[in-house]
Structure 1
Amino acid sequence: MGTIGDGYDNALIESFWGKMQVELLNRQEWTTRTELANAVFDYIEIYHNRWRRHSAIGNHTPAEYEQQHPKLQIAS
């Protein structure tokens, strides 16, 4: 973390919200808050966390990365 007022502290989440805005929120209107909440949940839990390609792991999806590197999984 940086010091107070650093722009770098929020860069990751600002990037995420920007992508979600373009890929989900700007594409349709919802009639109820429940529909919107379900759409955001599906976007985060199903699309972003499982299928969206991430540059931090070599532009692979998390599912592909875990299949290629099974030994790197954290033992619980």
Structure 2
Amino acid sequence: DTKAKPAPDLIGRDFHAERPGIRLAGDITCLPTAGGWLYLACRLDLATREVVGYAMADHHRAELVTDALGMAHGRAHVEPGCVIHSDRGSEYTSARFRDRI
């Protein structure tokens, strides 16, 4: 989406949280395999440092990060107003990701 604007940085390099469910961070890692690239998206709770959501695929489209976020929502107690932090890649600025959060 060429008109997409990145969300503001709400945590300002402060990767701590007072309690679980109020701040999640995530990113995508590219892993070379014999069958081609594997993309792994993770969601980490900044209070516990636990991986609360992840997804793997042979692409890095928006569904990859929304699937990881969905797992995090199902596995962890994510509070209303939880800050979801990531880089400013196209997956995270997509309409699909914004609709999900």
Instruction: Specify if TM > 0.5.
Output: no
- Larger Rg over CA atoms: 1
Question: Where is the helix percentage greater, Structure 1 or Structure 2?
Answer: 1
Higher relative contact order (CA 8 A, sep 6+): 2
Give the TM-score normalised by the residue count of structure 1: 0.30
Give the TM-score normalised by the residue count of structure 2: 0.25
